Every structure is written in C-alpha cells, then in structure tokens.
Structure 1
Amino acid sequence: MDLHAAEMRVKELHQLLNQYNYEYHVLDNPSVPDAEYDSLLKELQKLEESFPYLKTSDSPSQRVGGDILEAFQKVQHKISMLSLGNAFNEEDLRDFDRKVRQAVGDRFSYVCELKIDGLAVSLRYEDGMLVQGATRGDGTTGEDITANLKTIRSIPLRISEPLSIEVRGEAFMPKRSFESLNKAKVEREEEPFANPRNAAAGSLRQLDPKIAASRNLDIYLYAIADVGQTGVTSHSEGLDLLESLGFKANKERKNCENIDEVIQFVEDWVEKRAELPYEIDGIVIKVDSLQQQEELGTTAKSPRWAIAYKFPAEEVVTLLKSIELNVGRTGVITPTAVLEPVKVAGTTVQRASLHNEDLIREKDIKLGDYVVIKKAGDIIPEVVNVLEERRTGEEKDFHMPTECPECESELVRLDGEVALRCINPKCPAQIREGLIHFVSRNAMNIDGLGEKVISQLFHEHLIKDVADLYRLEKDQLLQLERMGEKSVDNLLKAIEASKENSLEKLLFGLGIRHVGSKAAKTLAQQFETIDRLMEASLEDLVAINEIGEKMADSIVTYFENEEAISLIRELKSYGVNIEYKGPKPVAVENTDSYFGGKTVVLTGKLEQLGRNEAKEKIEAFGGKVTGSVSKKTDLLVAGEDAGSKLTKAQDLGIEIWDEEKLLEELNR
C-alpha cells in the first residue's frame, strides 16, 4: 500500500472506530460486534506501525495505554474547580432554597443530577482535539493524567466541532468492573479496593496507562467550565451541548420548578440508587440560569448556586447467624457477627464487627437475632441495633470464652482494657497475624505475600517467624498450591526488595506493642539505626516529644527479650536494612513554619494529599499530628465529610482550615 492509500484508509478507520466507539460506550447501542471493532483496530495499528507519521494523538489506537510515565506534571486550572456545599436533610435543602430566593427572587428553576461517586476531572480541547486531562486536585492545581484519561473510551479524543473548550466530569468505575477487579485482586491475594471510588482514583493515578486501560473506567460530563462563545445561557442547555459534541452526560437528570420537586427527586433516588450500574452518593442541585448563577456568586471554596445532597448511610435488616472469634497479633479476641448475606450500599455484607464483649452486652445482642446493619461511611459494616420485637424466644445469649480459641490458653482482661486477651507468646494465631502484619503495605510491603499465602506457609511449617521469610527458597515455594514459577519469582524479588526498606518500615513490622507507623518513623528519625534504639533507656525514649511512658516501657521491654534480640540478629544476617533512609525531621527551633510546635488533627477526605502524605508534610515542618481533638489541639484540617471532630473543634474554638488552605501553607 502506498502512502496516499494508507493515509486515506487511516482516515476512514478513524471515522469508523470513533463511530463504533461512540455507539458502544456513549449510546450503549453498538451497531457492529466486538470482533469487527477489534479487527479494524488491529488494521489501524498495523498501518501506524508501517507509516509512523500517520499515528496522531487522537487516533483510536491511543486508548490502549502508552509508555510508563515518570511522574505526573502539575496543572494550573484556568477556572477553579470548586467543591460543593453539602445538605444532609430536607431542612438543609429548604435553607439553600431560601438563600437563593433572597438573592435572585422567585423566578428561577433547578437542575437535579445524580452525584456520581468517582473522581472529578477536567478535559481541555483545542480546535476540537483533546490536549489535556487533569484531576481536580485542590481546585486550583491538579495533576496531568491525560494518558490515563485517554484510555476511557467514552471520552472523545476529538469532538464533533472544532471548538476550544474545557469541560468537567466525574470519572468512575462501574459496579461490574469493580467486582471483577476485586475478584482478580483476591485471587492474586492482594488487598481489594474498599469501594469503586477508591478504585477509580487509584486507576487514574497509575504511572502506567496500561493499568488504567485494563480497569474499564467510564465518565459522565456535567459542566462546561467557560461557556464563552457557545451561546449557552443555562446549565441544562450546556448538558445538551455536551451530548451534541459527543460527550456522555447522565440522562438521569431533571429540571425542577421548585424545591418540593427537588425533594421528591431526592427521595425517589434514595430508594432507586441500588438499581444503578454505578455508585452514587447523593444528588447535585444547581440553579439552571447561568446569569442567576453569576448573580449568586461563590464563596472561597463553594458556589452559592449549587449544593450536594448527601445520602444517609443505608440501613438493612438481616439475621445474625453466629459469632466468630478472631485472635489478633497482640492477642486481643475480637467477636465478629456472621450474618445472613445482605446487600448494603451496593455490596454484599456477610460479616460485621462487634468490637468487644461490652458492646454485645450494651446492645443486648443474641444469637438468632434480627439486627439492623449499616455501613459506616458506606464502607465498614456495623451492627446498629437489635429488633427485639422480632424475637421468638429461640434466640440464645452469647458468652465470651475463658480460653483462647486457637491455643486454649486462659484469656485475661488487663487493667484498664475492655478487650479479652490471650497472653501466650507462642499462640499460633498471634504468630500468624504477626507475620501478616509484617508483610503488610505500611510495614515491609512485600507484594504477593497476602493473608492466604502467609497462612499456607505457616501451616506447611515453612515459616515460624519473620526471619524465616528471608530463608524461603524457590523449590519450597513451587511445591505450594497455586504457586507457579512466575509468581514464585515475583514473590522472591519482592522479599529481596523489602530488605532495602527504611528502618521505620521494619520497626512497625515488628509489631512492638503501642508502636504505630507514625511512632515508628519518629523513632527511626531519632535513633537512625536499630542498634541505637535497642540501647535506648526509658528516659531516652520518654524525652522524645511523641513517645509516652507506656510506649517507652513497651519498647524497652521488647528489646530486653532474648528472642527479639536473636530475631534482629537474624534479620541483619539476611541483609535486612536496619538504618533510617528518609529525610531528617525539620527541627522546630530552626524553622519559621506555621506548624512548628503545633498540634494538628486531620479529619474528613483530603482529595489532593491524602492523610498519610499530609501527616508527613506537616511533621516535616515541625508539627505534631494527632488523632483526636482536645484543648491542646492548635489546628484542625477538615476535608470533605468531616464529622464529629469538626463539631468538637468548633465548640472548643480551635482554628479550622480546609485542604486548600493547608496546601497554600505547605507550599509557601
């Protein structure tokens, strides 16, 4: 084929593939079978290989994922991506309506849309071609994730008119894709995603676009950032224009003439949300007229012309069949309710934590009870209460055992503790849980060593402590069920790579009582090597700002134990790093940072940083991040869905920032 013929065929293939893609992913009405699309795509890829200069950035072949990125570049939004204020009940909605009427009078209407539980993104087109896609970030600055967004097939790489336009939307993972992804993760013995939103966000922040391409993400566009020369005068007209340009906008929207119609729309979707093939967490209500939106204006972070109604946590009734007992790595016995499977907030729940014996007594929970279940934050299942009126007399009281369910040692309740505890250091359950903790993400982060593999290795007597992990050999692992040569090679590489971790990872992995990941980092920064830490006295430890007497005593006791000393010696002999590799903490007296010497609490969702990164940055500037609000708290940073901590901080008169203010201070 000569160049001219190739050029003509490539152009024809672009048109056909874009048409078929639009029919399948936007209209949900394919006109050709998948095999036909795949055949044409392969033909295009071969032509682009033969004639590389015919491969363009808007080619349908670019959706499969390109080269691995080194890092995400920062993007300044020309028009800020504001977050919405929240409403939680009818009273909040009517209060919003009252404020709108005070500002613009009674002649206006609303548009109600489903609030997709995903990741807000911005798409920029120049002369009709997609040139950039970015995350919301802090609303002012996001990250360039163009390569990943191109893998979402419902995003047009070229729109139907040669417009230069910026549009906003919500990228999400459909329920079916989420279930398939988590099933594959469980099979690989990896930690599954907690919910579709986390899965979508995690997929779009992968440096390898091929990973995003494999996740089957989708998107709904919900706004034009700047209507400019489009001639659009209302939000609903803007949505219609988006659809005409080839974008996917959600059809489940409604124009409402008054707040009563809005409330009815909300109530309808509270009932129907579970029927959707994707997750929603509320309803977005917007004043339709763009001129009235301009009159209403915005606050520093939210528009006054829109509000998001957040759904209450879904509650369902199911049967409590039995109560299982689990032994944790510190010996704590935790009761877990085994339930008749029931769907809550889009996922099937079969277990719920009961925390401890006192909670069971307080709620008068009996075996065979019908109980009300909800997901705290739509994620963690919990038992709300018992339906006593449905009791038949066949229900049975539950009594905690006096002996450990694993090793039959006597259980004790230590002074000041609610939980029962097994104090046998050789309890198999504690050893197994300790091994699982050691390889976990926040500890040594050994990919491929999930709970099932650890349990298998333990029961086959291939490991009895964490040092044994570094003695494992290929031949031993190949004998295990479902362990092929490739997975064994990857596992051994991951174990070898873990030897290079910084000291704080090892300290946290050792499971020293009361030493969490934050304290482990503080200790690693302070002592720099495990040898110096092992030599530290109680007084040395207590002198450190964040180390209390109880923790200090636990550390000294741990390193006085001959078995612990022997374990450290073994780990050293296998080449496990025992030195701190991270940055030195900024000394408070040497910094003029706002955070120097201040106690900070983080609450709610921090979209741009995430909790761990925010903690690290604040601590690097001399701040102390704690988990609870008290009179000693200097600052509370409140992200989305901030709850009781925010209320308490307000009551105490503590300074409160949003994430935007936090980022501003950190980036000074």
Structure 2
Amino acid sequence: MTSSTAAQRVQDLREQIRTHDRLYYVEAQPQITDLEYDRLLAELKQLETEHPELASPDSPTRRVGDAPVPHLEQVAHRLPMLSIDNTYSLEELAAYFERAAKLLPDETIEWVMEYKIDGVAASIIYEDGLLVRALTRGNGKVGDDITHNIRTVGGVPLRLSGDQVPTVLEVRGEVYMTNDDLVELNLRQAAAGLPAYKNTRNVTAGTIRLLDSRIAAERRLRFFCHGVGYAEGLQATDHVSFLHEVGLLGLPPTPNVRRLANSAEAMQAAQSLEEDMPTIDFEVDGIVFKVNNFVQREALGSTSKSPRWLIAYKRERYEATTVLERIEVQVGKTGAITPVAYLQPVDIADTTVSRASLHNADEIERLDVREGDTVVVEKAGKIIPKVVRVEKHLRDQPLQPFVFPTACPECNTTLQRDEGGVAIRCPNPSCPAQLRQRIAFFASRTGMDIDGLGEKLIDQLVSKGIVRHYHDLYGMQAEEFIAHLDKVKTRKASSLVNAIEATRDRGLARVLTAVAIRHVGPRAAYRLTQAYPSLEALREASEEQLAAIDEVGPVIAKSVRDYLHSDYGRATLDGLQQAGVRMTEEVADTSDLPLQGKTFVVTGTLQRYKRDEIKQRIEALGGRASGSVSSNTDYLIAGAKAGSKKAKAEKLNVPVIDEDQFDELCQ
C-alpha cells in the first residue's frame, strides 16, 4: 500500500471509528457489533505501525494507553470546581427552592433534573477542539492531572467534532463504570486468581488515578458530561442547550434530563423519583436539580463550598450479596408481567429481604441472571430491593437461562409488548390476576380500607366470578359470603358486610386513590378534591385547571383527566356512585386547625393508631405527614422500637412526642 493510499485509509478508518464512538456513547444507537468495531481499530493500529509518519495524538488508537507516567501532577483549576450541597429530605429540598426564589424575586426559575451518577468527578479541557488536559476535582482549587487515563475513557473524544468548535471548552462530568463492565472485570480477575472488586465507584476511583494508562484502557471506564467550567466560544445560554451543544461536539451528555417549569414541578418529580427511576446499568445515588438559565446562575452565585444554583436530593443506598433461588412472574393490576427474584433471606438496612424486583424481560436478559446465581441486591430509599448485578465469577456450574413466558400465567392470553416500550402485558382486561390485584389495592389501607378482606378471600371472590368490578362488593349480603367462600362463618360474614358498608362514606379523595389512577396517591387526591370537591366538578375541570392546583402539576393532571374521561374510568366511578359510594369531599377550613403548618414524622410501633390513620389525622388537622426527619420537622411521633429516626430527631433537637402528647396537640 502506497503512503498516499495508506494515509487515505487511515483517515477513513478514524472517521468511521469516531462515528461509531458517537453512535455508541452519545446517541446510544450502535450500528455495528463489538467484533466489527475491534476489526476497524486493529486495522488502523496496524497501518499506524507500518506508517509511523501517520501517527496523530487524536487517533482512536491512543485510547489503548501509553507507557506509565512517573507520578500525578497537581494542576490548578481555572475556575473552582466546587462540590454540591446535599439533602436527604423533601422538606429540606422545598426549603432550598424557597431560598432560591427569595434570591431572585419576581423571576420565574426554570429547573432541570438529572441523575446524580455515583462515579468520580472530572474536568476535561479542549483547546481548538483537541483534548489537552483532564483533572480530578481534588480540593476544588487544585486537582490531579489524569489526562493519560481520560484518553482511554469510552465516549470522550480526543478531538471534538462539528464546524463550530469553541476555542476553549472545559466540560465537567462524571467518570463511571457500568455494572455489566464490572461483572466482566471480575470474571477476568477470577481467571487470573485475583480478588473481585466490590463496586463500580471504588474501581473507577482507583483506576482514574493509576499511573499506567494501559490498565485503565482495559477497564472500560465511561464519561457523562453534566456541566461547564471555563469556556471561550460556547453558544449555549442555558443548561439544556449546553447539553445539546456538547452532544453535537461528540461528548456524551448526561442522560434522561428533564426540564421543569417551576419548583412545584421539581418537587413533584422528586416525590416520584423512586417510582419513575428506570432500569439503568450505572449506579445512581440520587438526582440533581439545577437552575437552567446561566444568567440566573450568575445572579445566585456560590458560597465558599457550593454553588447556590443547584442541589442534590440523595437516597441512602445499601447493598448485600445473596443467592437467587428462583424467578417467578407476577401479573399486576395494569396487566404488566413483572419478574420477581426469590432470594435466600439477607439483612439490608435493618430489614430482611427475601424478594427483589427484576423489572422486565429486558432486564433479565441484560443481567443474564439465572436461578442459582449469586447476586448483589440494592435497597435505596423506600424502593423495592432490586438486583444490581450477577457475580458471574462465582458461577461455578452451568445454570439454565430463564425463559420468559409468552402467555399469561393466569388466563393463558398471549402476552404483548408495549409499542416502543419494555413492558410485557396481558391484554385481557378480564384477567383474574389483574382483577385480584385491583381489588386488593382497593381494599387496602391506602385504598378504601376494608378490614378483613384479605388476599385469600379476594382470590375466591374473583375466581368464582362473584366480583368483577369494584362496585360488586357493595350490596353483598352475609349469606352470600357464607355460601360462596370457604371457612367464612356468620360472624366473619357480618363483619365483612359492615366493613364494606363503612367505606361508602369515605369520600372522593379515598376513591380516587383506591381505583389506582396512575401518579395519584393520597396527597394528590386530597389536593384535587379540595379544589374540586365533587366528581362532577372534577370531570368538568380542564387539564390546565387541574395542573394549577398546588402539588398537582401537569403530569398528575393529564393522568387524572385521561382517566376521568376514559370509558373504563367513567364506568368505574359511575358504578361506585350508583352503588351508593359518596363521590364528594368536604372542603377543610384550615384557618384555625390545630396542626396547621406543622410537619410530623411517625416512627416505631404505635398502640392506638395504624400508620395510615395517624397520617390521615395529621393532614385532616392541617399538618403535613413526612417520611424523613430534617431540621424542618416540627415533631417526631415515636412509638415502641423507634430507631434511627428518633436518634436523628434528638440530634437535630426536634421534639419527640408519644401518642398522648400528639392527641393533646390535636385538641
């Protein structure tokens, strides 16, 4: 091959590889296999070896690592690389939004929400599009020079792409490792007789500071860009456009960013964090809220430690290792088929965990999890424990892959995958499993609280065709329970009838919660019905009017509006109304309620109250029931066996009271 031909081929290969790097790391849409990619890289490396005059510092082959550096140099940041203030409670988060609003009076602040990735912070500097330096955060003023290792990180371009490259661009972000790559690394460790690594963050933190970049290249670190430092020639004037701009330059922007119109939407997003967090292959320990507009950021400024224009809402995370004994699938109330891992019981965060969510069929395939595997289980915040990764290096015998069912395990209907989604569902609305789940939630304490109507009785009512809708429960006589249900005697039957009758007057807010409208919990239902205290009024309200209600917002508003005007939702609520269930709500006069404006947290075992009952009483008397203790908590109500929340309350000088003292406050 002539020099000119080789030069052309080298240029073509570099462009191809950079294109595929972008498709893989930035757009998450790979078009070739790993093997095909490796062949392109191998050919390029061979040509550069045969024609050393064609070597270039921004060639993709430079990612394989060079000779070790003698030591890490300390380099000053051009702009301080400050840390982020953290909060673990919604009350502290709300207080932060209030402080920001006071600093920018008469201005609407638009927020963005993004994942707080559990990796290692890094600053990467480009001059005229070429990567020239990368630093750790260090002490915020001075960081370690890790340029040699950053050059090996997947998704970090050695030269920026595009026609409008900033003269100087310092991007800041997170270096991280995926759980899948940790699994592969530990397999290599086991094959070499070396100990396994415990978690992705420790590996990343150790790797990024290695002197030998060849080792870093083998560990498949990655990078997400989430911020900007010093820059000359940047076009963006807000965070969302900045992420778009760096994406065009070939840098991987932090994923799943949401723009939020105001702090009310931000609070709503924070409250739904645990439910909406998708299945992802990297570690996340919370979310970050940032002011979108760069001018407003400048106005808010910084303290000596942290910027005032962002805050992290973090979740406490706990992990343990155990054995997955079997996998079963469950049919939910919306028909979604959810695989569940049954585990050898293990203690995580003072609770015994024997089950964990596997989310969906795609997650099982990604994890390659099998019955008999040793797995790492995580419990973060209040969420159901989930399997984080499989310790494949401990798989010492062949295990059979799990085969996801193609038919509903309950009604044998052919399952369907959501169009463009990952959920696999039973499309049969009459599926007994779905109906059981819906009735069970309707009867639960969160729903209508039908005392005595448990899973076994619901199973009989549904399987025998006695109950097909919520309203079928009403009007049932004791004789029907005795005749159709096993082991139900006269006293039990009478109690069930009385318990069902007692729910007729629960009110509209409880009904909206009980029928399981997506995104609508007790608090949102209460807010909705205080604004529109009858079913008719609620149906007449527009989506915009619903969204304007405090603590509701557009997501809940759309969900409620869609449900109220769907055939199913209309038939469900009309059926309950015709059965005599009250579809109105009393509007509370909060002007002189004894608990008005007070925030309470409940912990331990109470004697006179069920947990839901005391929370309902708090809110009915004008207070707010929170799940976590913070400096904004007014009282902690502590029962027997109160644990960490009581200790935290005492540390923060939050008054700790018992049930008697709470009752006195209510008078």
TM-score of the pair, normalised by structure 1 = 0.48
